[in-house]
Amino acid sequence: MRATVTSHTLQVTRHTSQITSALMAGAWLLMATGCATNPATGKRELMLVSESQEIQMGREADADVRKTMGVYDDAAWQKYVTDVGMRLARASHRPNLPWKFTVVDEPAVNAFALPGGFIYITRGILPYLRDEAELAAVLGHEVGHVDARHGASQASKQIVAGVGIALGGVLAPKYKTAFGLAGGGLGLLFLKYGREDELEADRLGTGYAASAGWDPAGMPGLLDTLAKIDEVGGSSRGVPNWALTHPPAADRVQKVQESVSAAKAASPGGTARNRPQLEERLAGVVFGDSREKGMVRGREFVHPVMRFALTFPQGWEISNSDDAVTAQPTGDANATIILQAGAPSGNLQQTADASMLKAGFQRVDGSSRTINGLPFFIGTYQGVIEKNRATAEAGFVRLNGRDDVFRILGVAPEAQFSNVRPAADATIESFRELSQSEANAIQNRRIEFVTVRNGDTWVSIAAAGGNVVKPTTLAIINGEAPASQPRPGSRVRTVR
């Protein structure tokens, strides 16, 4: 949950997609422009989106990405990624696109591209890069998707299939709630490309990296690391990890080796790894959840910037995305508890009724109460979600002296609601304000470097950092196998 974004509105967020209109306009060209020659592959293919539409599409979605995910607040990293990215872009088949490279403030390990040359990597992937050659590999892969017009081509296929571009739900369905919280624009980022597209992006990316001077073997190195990342280690809350948006990395390794050999033959000068250049920027990089978006700590969600905390039910899985925090019982998608923040419309009860009405829910009962020293309005509402009758227990609360209203919603199909209601009530009643000193005590976790002493293991290094990350994650961050032993005297990455 982003402090800066969430204060806008309590309405169900559904960015009416400007992309949709751009693409639907494109659909009219169906008769006129059937096939176009692909700039990177030279193949003729179905292409309903012109280059200027492609750029326009990217530009509009880029504004959404910046607003929703946020730009990672580190000018040195932004410049470094832009410098490396621009060298790749100049070596690519489409050097004249308005290329833009951005590190977004997301803990997930991922990278993505929008049509038109808008490339993003998450701050979450930075600690997993061994060296600059791997940074060039991941950026080169995304440049490859843009050059081969994979995103634009996907969009064309969707137009032909008559689905417009209903991408709102593409943000891993698990994270999409009944209230359609996933932003429309972001869907374009998580298009699942086919295996052939991925191999092509790998081939193009390794070629660009080598011709711009980097060792193209950065690509298999990175794939190897991504294959090792376990679910828990590489926080996947909110934005899906690479593994969810890409085919299994292991599958690609052999094909990538062929691309690496070809790139080496074509550009024998591509040898730079530049590990020190990357590592000197790595100390201090934020790892995992951040204060700015709130943090999951066991069953608790704490937001030290907005200064509140609440506790979700035992055994529920909590996901923190940019516009909401959601929790679901493990293995049961029917019950959901959702936390959102927004602006008031009148008093708490009016705000409650108005915001629920917007979501299609009518109140059946409710009352005002004081809990943990805070004013609450708690009501039961009924409505319809995707043609099924649903019931919601909704708590609305305001922090003393502040405008924001928080909505905690427990929702389930009508028949199952009685099972969910006690969990929803307990969550609503756990909402409390954090004191300034409690909030100050919650700090971001960051990458640090330590020197390995005799007898150190990944377990002991993780413990010395307060077990903020699992030992296996620590090994993977250092580009090593979880079963390996750190070498005494070497400098390794840790998280504290």
Give the range of 164-172, 194-202, 355-363, 442-450 binding Zn ion by CB under 5 A.
194-202
Nearer to Zn ion, 243 or 385 (CB): 243
Cβ 150 to Zn ion shortest distance, Å? 8
Q: How far is the CB of 65 from Zn ion (least distance, A)?
A: 17
Residue 201 or 337: the one with the smaller Cβ distance to Zn ion is: 201
Across the beta sheet with 300-303, the strand order is 295-297, 300-303, 308-311, 432-433
Picking from 118, 152, 162, 189, the residue whose alpha carbon sits closest to that of residue 39 is 152
Footprint on residues 232-271 left by Zn ion (CB under 5 A): none
Spatial contact of 163 and 322, defined as CB atoms under 8 Å apart: no
Range 282-301, binding Zn ion (CB under 5 A): none
User: Restricting to residues 26-85, which ones interact with Zn ion according to CB under 5 A?
Assistant: none
Q: Which is nearer to Zn ion, 146 or 201 (CB)?
A: 201
- Residue 198 or 429: the one with the smaller Cβ distance to Zn ion is 198
Minimum distance of Zn ion from residue 7's CB (angstroms): 34
User: Smaller CB distance to Zn ion: residue 146 or 423?
Assistant: 146
Tell me the site size for Zn ion, rule CB under 5 A: 2
Residue type, 18: Q
- What is the closest distance, in whole angstroms, from the C-beta atom of residue 163 to Zn ion in the complex? 22
Q: Of the two residues 248 and 346, which places its CB atom closer to Zn ion in the complex?
A: 248
Q: Tell me whether residue 137 or residue 335 sits nearer to Zn ion (CB atom).
A: 137
Question: In whole angstroms, how far apart are CA 320 and each of 2, 182, 265, 289, 337?
Answer: 9, 12, 45, 9, 12
CB of 141 to Zn ion, least distance (A): 6
Q: Which is nearer to Zn ion, 201 or 378 (CB)?
A: 201
Q: How far is the CB of 191 from Zn ion (least distance, A)?
A: 10
Minimum separation from the CB atom of position 201 to Zn ion (A): 5
Maximum separation of any 2 CA atoms in the chain, in Å:
73
Contact of 184 with 19, CB cutoff 8 Å: yes
Q: How far is the CB of 190 from Zn ion (least distance, A)?
A: 11
Q: How far is CA 450 from CA 136, 243, 486, in A?
A: 26, 29, 11
Of residues 10 and 201, the one with the C-beta less far from Zn ion = 201
If the CB atoms of residues 141 and 445 are measured against Zn ion, the closer one turns out to be: 141
Instruction: Give the interface segment with Zn ion, choosing from 80-88, 195-203, 392-400, 474-482 (CB under 5 A).
Output: 195-203
Phi-psi category of residue 268: left, alpha or beta, with phi > 0 → left and psi -120 to 50 → alpha: alpha
> Minimum distance between the CB of residue 6 and Zn ion, rounded to whole angstroms?
30
Name the nearest CA neighbour of 291 among 453, 70, 440, 470: 440
Nearest to 340 by CA among 288, 247, 404: 404
Pairing verdict, β 118-122 and 100-104: parallel
**What is the C-alpha to C-alpha distance for residues 344 and 339, in angstroms, rounded to an integer?**
15
Q: What do you get for the CA distance between the two ends of the chain, in Å? A: 22
- Binding piece for Zn ion, criterion CB under 5 A, among 155-163, 190-198, 230-238, 460-468: 190-198
Q: Residue 193 CB, nearest distance to Zn ion (Å)?
A: 6
Q: Which residue has the tokens 């991408």?
A: 167
Residue 260 beta carbon to Zn ion: minimum distance, rounded to whole angstroms: 17
CB 360 within 8 A of CB 384: yes
Q: In the range 196-215, which residues lie near Zn ion by CB under 5 A?
A: 198, 201
Determine the interface stretch with Zn ion among 39-47, 192-200, 227-235, 370-378 (rule: CB under 5 A): 192-200
Q: Which CB atom, from 106 or from 198, has the smaller least distance to Zn ion?
A: 198
Residues that bind Zn ion (CB under 5 A): 198, 201
